[in-house]
Amino acid sequence: MVLYEEDPADPNGKRFVGSAIWRTEMVTAALGQPPELAIRADIEVPERKLAMTWSLRPNTDKGLPATHTVEIVFKPADFPSGGVSKVPGILMKRAEQTRGVPLAGLAVKVRPGFYLIGLSTTFAASPAWHQGSEREQEILVERSTRSLQAKPRTLFSTPQSIDDLLHSYLGDGSDICSH
């Protein structure tokens, strides 16, 4: 996991290495609903004193026009380098240094440090989802600089349960977890 921060003094920006621990977990969507399987990543970038939890699961809220949701929670909500003001969505990339292609969906700020992205019904069929080899989220921080956080495909390849869950979400055509 790598965090990139734009720096006006450096056209290449700054690069910070972090870690991501991926797993599956059972979560309850709403009171009275059965638990459902979700993908979760606990991400840390020690040098920036940044931690976040990223989770993907099917959407069970009939009022939300999305097939899946991604929840992003920053810890702390106002981490020392400026806090997060906006999470515009998820970009897919073929390589770390290429431009990303946005996935169809809507991102909203639920409260400081907590963001929800509703993925459109078309995201799983999107060539960007299947062809991208990097998963990137664009994160805007309150101090007016932009950070890009890239997650390489290899983070999705272990354990096998995550691969199986992605295939159940996306169908047999998914190549997101090819090893």
Residue ranges covered by each domain of the chain: 2-170
User: What pLDDT is stored for residue 93 in this prediction?
Assistant: 64
Q: Which two structure tokens, joined as six digits, stand for 113?
A: 């440090």
Q: Which two structure tokens, joined as six digits, stand for 108?
A: 């909203």
The tens digit of pLDDT for each residue in 92-116 reads 666 566 666 777 788 899 998 899 9
Of 2 and 177, more confident: 2
Region 64-86 average pLDDT: 78
The rounded mean pLDDT for the chain is 69
The tens digit of pLDDT for each residue in 130-159 reads 554 455 555 555 444 555 444 322 222 223
Instruction: Give the C-alpha distances (Å, rounded to integers) separating 11 from 7, 99, 104.
Output: 7, 15, 29
**Residue 57 CA to chain centroid, in angstroms?**
12
User: What pLDDT is stored for residue 149 in this prediction?
Assistant: 47
| DSSP bridge pairs for 120 | none
Half-sphere CA count of 103, side-chain side, radius 13 A:
32
- Rounded to whole angstroms, the Cα distance separating 24 from 44 reads 18
| DSSP bridge pairs for 68 | 58, 119
- Confirm whether pTM is higher than 0.85: no
What DSSP state is assigned to residue 1?
A: -
